[in-house]
Chain A
């Protein structure tokens, strides 16, 4: 069994300074009936990607509240991750012909992990499709199993979904990032937003000299507008579309584009997409393509804080936590109206939505022309994240789910 490394504990009082004492007292009250009861979270990667990032922060907070929480990571070979990456894309609607061998590989690694992992907690939460078949190890001991799906299932490849659905139906509850992603399931489906940690290195306040240093390191001019998209190099994030939108904006504003991201071990496609992006950038000195390591949170934080506008032009999206990260930093955001993004970007209230390359370019031009509107959107966006998308809210939703499951609601 691999026990994933988790972040160091941050006292809850640190959050009280940002959120108010009332929010923390409420968390303590909700956690009280759950103290000492076992909770196990399982996913497929310990580093990279939003899920690992959330779990890294969630566990220390749970410990602060006296919860007996642990996080286990399933182990598998490259063949498994090739299959699950294809599943991931197919569930997002990409064309894919699943073979019997793919399903066999999927089942085999899940079976192997069923014997490796304890899976005996009172509340077991499985994240995403990779470990979904662990449900077959469920013991008849009255424990509660919940499946947290972080991806957009609104138009899934039917063969892949038909394969996964019987596993999902065995859980007590499922959680999705948007109502649009829910399926016709015989179990309750809940809306669960991902979350960011305001005290993590990726989101904490930074000194201006540190931000200036990062800009200097990557030859980014702080005097000219900076447009930024932070995301993995993944076709579904449409980095090439971002470059095309930037080229339209560039006709009107002397701006720079930063495309920064890193790979995750369960994403073998990243290097290929990075090459496509570099080709599209055509050595434009104002386009900075930064292949950051997964452990560069301070650099990402600095790039977001230095940005004039943050873009998230995804074609499909689970939730798009980078949007919340930018809003938390009071940045005006222009993003695609896909997946969980409209939940974060309420059009004209907390940011601007777009549906195309041209639309994205137009909204960017509008905000560059109206900095006062951009600032207001950023301020409302910050409040929206504070109320709904912080790690403390995430923990509160989990506490509520466990209390509801235990009460048979």
Chain B
């Protein structure tokens, strides 16, 4: 079995949600908020919230889409916002640009709806991230499998989804290490194809373990 020179270090992660000063009562105000809020706020309402609600595999994508549908009563805009896949983004700036474009286009097309009061306001929040080493390392595929099994949901999400913002690459910590340190490009790529919007984190993890087991049987 191949042993990597650089180990994979598993992390424990936790987030505090910091309540911001901005809120929106209309879709027009949502657009203003999207243009002005911090990167930590965009991260919170897209990347972070998807992780917190991973068990909802129907009609849940991000807070902006949920608010547009449930509170602003605009399913058309909500559907568009929900179609954004956070894994397409390696920077918050690009994600913000697309969010603003979608909401901006809607406001331009339907100015009468842009100023309509929603049932509840949207409150912009931010994520404050705290990470500590889990004290767990992997140098082989077997050790890596053990680590995946022992990760919490938050830790799993941190390494698998939000890592692309850190790496600035269309990949994740797991795939990055598998390809770079163990030379398992195909396995790394197959991890990237798992659909996190129609899977819970548990079913994603189970798929990953099956893929690892298939790889182990090859050797």
Contact = CB atoms under 8 A, between A and B. Distances in A.
Q: Indicate whether A and B interact.
A: yes
Interface of A: 20-23, 25-26, 29-30, 32-33, 176, 179-180, 182, 184, 188-191, 337, 342, 346-347, 349, 380, 383-384, 387-388, 396-397, 399-401, 403-404, 407, 409
A21 B150 contact: yes
Contacts of A384: 53, 55
A22 B150 contact: yes
Contacts of A189: 18-19
Given A22-B152, A191-B16, A384-B55, 18 more contacts: A20-B152, A23-B152, A23-B153, A26-B134, A26-B155, A29-B132, A30-B14, A30-B132, A32-B132, A180-B123, A184-B21, A190-B17, A190-B19, A337-B120, A400-B130, A403-B132, A404-B128, A409-B130
Given A30-B132, A384-B55, A387-B55, A182 B19 contact: yes
Given A30-B132, A337-B120, A388 B18 contact: no
Contacts, number: 99
Given A29-B132, A29-B135, A32-B132, A388 B52 contact: yes
B132 A33 contact: yes
A400 to B, nearest CB: 4
Contacts of B207: none
A403 to B, nearest CB: 5
B184 interface: no
Interface of A is mostly: helix
B125 interface: yes
Contact of A349 (B16, B54, B56): B56
B70 interface: yes
Question: 7 closest A-B pairs (Cβ-Cβ)?
Answer: A179-B123, A29-B12, A191-B17, A383-B55, A26-B152, A22-B152, A400-B14
Given A32-B132, A191-B125, A22 B153 contact: yes
A407 B151 CA distance: 24
Given A25-B134, A26-B154, A30-B130, A401 B16 contact: yes
B151 to A, nearest CB: 5
Given A191-B125, A383-B55, A404 B130 contact: yes
8 contacts: A29-B133, A180-B123, A189-B18, A190-B128, A346-B66, A387-B52, A396-B14, A409-B128
Contact of B155 (A22, A32, A179, A347): A22
Interface residues of B, number: 39
B142 to A, nearest CB: 18
A387 B202 CA distance: 12
A331 B133 CA distance: 38
A409 B131 CA distance: 13
Contacts of A397: 14, 16
Contacts of B52: 387-388
Contacts of A190: 16-19, 128
B43 interface: no
Contact of B120 (A29, A184, A191, A342): A342
B15 A400 contact: yes
B121 interface: yes
A344 to B, nearest CB: 12
B78 to A, nearest CB: 13
Interface string B48-64: 00001111100110000
A391 to B, nearest CB: 15
A29 B154 CA distance: 13
A49 to B, nearest CB: 24
B153 A400 contact: no
Contacts of B130: 30, 400, 403-404, 407, 409
A404 B16 contact: yes
Contacts of B152: 20, 22-23, 25-26
Interface in B4-32: 12-19, 21, 23
A402 to B, nearest CB: 10
B7 to A, nearest CB: 17
B128 A380 contact: no
B30 to A, nearest CB: 14
B132 A22 contact: no
A207 B121 CA distance: 43
Nearest to B154: A26
B150 A25 contact: yes
A261 B154 CA distance: 36
B16 A179 contact: no
A336 to B, nearest CB: 12
A25 B133 CA distance: 11
A309 to B, nearest CB: 21
Nearest to B156: A22
A25 B23 CA distance: 36
Contacts of A342: 120
